[in-house]
Chain A
């Protein structure tokens, strides 16, 4: 196991190098660069542009260098913790992202907890009462949740909140608290505003989670060792939790890996619709305006989190499941 972890950490490095090359290439794919789109913007707003200033900007940001040089520069800085400079915001990337990070994490965590709290009991109920009315009903709602696009739900909820309750639910707090230090009223306001985004972002995830818990648990419920447990006289609820539920958790643990990046990425589209101050809209605007260091570093950050997340869930699986920990692999 120890060797395995060392090996896995070693294998992360080439993975990340590959990911960084792909990310950098993709960001560079659209024609032009930030300066060009900046000029385009200036021209569109009727301002005149000085060519000398353009050249100066290019040289300043290193955009006149060949691509591989820019890549080397970016990645070495990234590895040293310098994520580059956002052209658009005129601030270092770490600052731009950092401002929004805590709110993003808050929204994501609230969503994940909500998803688990709702999905687990329902999934277990559906599996243990397969083909009952309860199962059918919950399945119906689950499929409804799965099939509804999040942003649509967000729009619908915004509309009804406005017309029926007369409240605006956009944003993550009331306007007067923005950029204010944390206080009880502000905290309360954040909690209030959290409800709708959490429900909206969580629906599809919850529905998918219910279906997966149900399917995985159903697979396990019929297994012989569950019958063994019942035959041993284990009370029904304990027999469910200790054996099949524990077994069906593997998929769930494996999922934790992909949760890590999604916590940070902050449900882009819904965030735009609900005008949430999370990192999601930031990434989108950065990609649109070719703010290359912001977009690149952010994507790279997500890639790193994905790789770490997968490693963490693999290690957790090794702890939880002796079959993964102990099984020797024979070579063919």
Chain B
């Protein structure tokens, strides 16, 4: 511990406080939860959300709390910290906290949440990082102010010492320029850096226990790997226990020493990570393991959703689907040379501003065939969403062409305008990432589903209502739900409503922007299976964007890998995963956490990669001189990769 933070400027308080604890062997339990019950007050009646949970968190170890949303895992973490929402309270049981083996255990539930005892523990001895790095930090206060506040509250530290201590902490969590970051605002940082700032805030007082509530769920795979690696590294340096709350079994397999599986407020199974993964006992855990799409599963295997949904296809739509049947390999959409740049106007303090041109999408070309699912993979910021927006004509490209082929012949999509464009929009519909913000909270499901029909003046009111009911059945929901508002649905149900809305106009092409990334594994499998079935039953074509390689592998037929606005590799699914050529694709595949103890992430390698800012690839994959032109070289009929112009395909595969 002291070795890490041992520097003359300002971390002495940290080191002094924990020097003794680091030397003492921590084999005791920091937290021991006994028969804990938590109830939520729902208009006078109690709903038990945690029902008799008991487990322990040993000092210095990582315990993973696994479960779907609604299983009570987050509220359990809140009860440990004493930040339960107003409607929730602990009805029975105890939480014993003991920082040192020699201390007497303290029952946290015997104190009120706002008592001095608990306030001094929060952020000091027990701290938390949240799922949403975008909203967890106050937008009005500087990073330094927010991290320093924790120090001020819990450490006897002079004002002068705060800044150097915080800057040291920021350096420790991997900020490239910690001194500058001190006076920055959260909106000036990327999602990954914000999560690092959160981690710095949680760890600045050197807590005995860190609760990480879905710390990487909102991040893409490569950022996830880096944050996980950072957490693991810091845990070793600072000797703290970690309670890792997640629904991602891949993360669990790579991080946890012990696993607790929760379902509906109860513990289904608990034990060391080895036992849990090698020999799962409980049916729920087995089902959960089967619901995760994995890079090792067979290409035609079907995910087993925990709760399958029955859906029925309305006859009118079936007729459409039959009409849509066409010989395989018919071209539907052809994109060539598509580019879009943004001018980011960044204000530099009070005077002046700088303009930087960002090529969000740079010369992208691909074809989409009728009836296939075309997947696009890439990190956040690689331009995939910008590309999508151009495909649905929400953004106008700077250069390039999009051609649409159907029974009416070829259409130049970018030339469409006014009424023609409006008519054309029926053919392409979109499913959005966030099922919570993509449905208006003030519209009933019925009016949400009717709206596209009203906009395009299809049918009269009665028919629209009937059709909305059919749409609900189509996505496996009861038509009686039509009168409800979105808040009464779960994330998976909302996403299904979003899909129903997209299908209301009977489109040919469905453009899906990360449709399952905000969903739990079990629900994710359900929605993926629904999308798959709808595709074959209705003869739909998909463009499917995701940062999750396993998800894309499960659903897509052909996949394009995007990096910094360009497609670097494009291949059929089997070809891409069996024979990835581009170093970026390989790197992406390396950072996917597997729900398999025999496939751990190579954290050392991730750390090494992290040190290199801006990737440098070996010879044919990056331009040696600035003037070198890059092009897509065809390796075989199913496989193209971006290399220097004139590179021989054999050179790449060797």
Contacts and interface: CB of A to CB of B under 8 A. Distances in A.
Interface of A: 1-3, 223-225, 227-236, 242-243, 246-247, 320-323, 325-332
Contact of B130 (A3, A224, A242, A325): A224
B140 A329 contact: no
B342 A331 contact: yes
Contact of B349 (A1, A232, A233): A1
Contact of B153 (A232, A323, A326): A232
A6 to B, nearest CB: 11
Interface string B176-190: 000000000101100
Contacts of B128: 231
Q: Which of the listed residues B124, B138, B343, B352 has the most CB atoms from chain A within 10 Å of its own CB?
A: B138
What is the interface residue range for chain B against chain A?
A: 35 or more
B259 to A, nearest CB: 24
Given A1-B349, A1-B350, A328-B344, A233 B135 contact: no
Interface stretch (B99-107, B114-122, B310-318): B114-122
Nearest to B135: A224
B149 interface: yes
A225 B353 CA distance: 29
Given A326-B188, A327-B187, A330-B345, A231 B81 contact: yes
Interface SS, A side: helix
Contacts of B138: 225, 228-229, 243, 247
Contacts of A247: 138-140
A329 B345 contact: yes
Contacts, number: 101
Given A1-B351, A2-B350, A231-B122, 20 more contacts: A2-B351, A2-B352, A3-B353, A227-B130, A228-B138, A230-B83, A231-B81, A232-B123, A232-B150, A232-B153, A233-B124, A234-B123, A236-B114, A247-B138, A247-B139, A323-B140, A323-B187, A328-B345, A328-B353, A332-B395
A320 B141 CA distance: 10
B132 interface: yes
B285 to A, nearest CB: 30
Interface string B348-360: 0111110000000
A227 B83 contact: yes
A231 B83 contact: yes
B201 A232 contact: yes
A233 B120 contact: yes
A27 B205 CA distance: 68
Contact of B136 (A224, A328, A331): A224
A3 to B, nearest CB: 7
A232 B149 contact: yes
B127 interface: yes
B572 to A, nearest CB: 35
B140 A246 contact: yes
A332 B154 CA distance: 46
B137 interface: yes
B344 A330 contact: yes
B347 interface: yes
Contacts of B123: 231-234
A65 to B, nearest CB: 48
Given A223-B135, A224-B135, A232-B127, A326 B342 contact: no
Contacts of A3: 351-353
B346 interface: yes
Contact of A331 (B120, B130, B154, B343): B343
A246 B138 CA distance: 10
Contacts of B349: 1
The 9 closest A-B pairs by CB, nearest first: A233-B123, A233-B122, A232-B123, A328-B345, A224-B135, A225-B138, A1-B350, A322-B185, A328-B346
Interface in B360-399: 395-396
A325 B136 CA distance: 20
Interface string B427-460: 0000000000000000000000000000000000
